[in-house]
């Protein structure tokens, strides 16, 4: 499918229109029928080579596009592990300044693990005291 680039957040592509290849039934990529004409998407396609006329595809078995509601300025879909939508202004800020979702998730998981270890230690202490 040929797509028009409305806004570029990252990358070196200079063309206004590029070609993105879909699935042929064996590649675990999104089918082109998933994309509606005159709709907006936030995409992260994979360049097939380094030439100026390169075509693009979607990397196998991953979501690399989000539906965009232009009226509400929101991208919808599996944005991250803990979010399924993001305001496009916030998205642009995250691209420029880094994404804190991974750090936040790591801190939460670390806290849960520490809490479980603390509880386990207390249970062992109580068990040892009661057996004495």
pLDDT tens, position by position, 37-69: 999 998 888 888 877 788 888 776 766 788 999
The structure's pTM equals: 0.65
Q: What is the distance in angstroms between the CA of the first residue and the CA of the last residue of the chain? A: 74
pLDDT tens, position by position, 56-112: 887 767 667 889 999 999 999 887 777 788 889 988 888 787 766 666 667 788 888
d(CA 48, CA 51): 9
Which SS3 state, helix, strand or coil, does residue 75 take? Answer: strand
pLDDT for residue 109: 80
CA–centroid distance for 12 within its chain: 20
Domain ranges of the chain: 2-98, 100-132
118 φ/ψ angles, rounded to the nearest 5 degrees: -60, -45
Residues 6+ apart with CB under 8 A from 57: 20, 21, 22, 27, 29, 45, 46, 48
């Amino acid at each position: 499918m040929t797509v028009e680039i409305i806004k570029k957040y990252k990358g070196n592509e200079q063309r206004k229109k590029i070609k993105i290849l879909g699935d042929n039934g064996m590649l675990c990529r999104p089918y082109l029928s998933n994309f509606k004409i005159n709709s907006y998407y936030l995409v992260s396609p994979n360049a097939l080579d380094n030439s100026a006329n390169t075509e693009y595809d979607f990397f196998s078995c991953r979501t690399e596009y989000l539906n965009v509601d232009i009226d509400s300025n929101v991208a919808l879909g599996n944005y991250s592990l803990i979010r399924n939508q993001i305001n496009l202004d916030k998205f642009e800020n995250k691209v420029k300044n880094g994404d804190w979702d991974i750090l936040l998730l790591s801190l939460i998981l670390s806290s849960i693990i520490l809490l479980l270890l603390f509880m386990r230690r207390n249970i062992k202490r109580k068990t040892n005291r009661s057996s004495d």
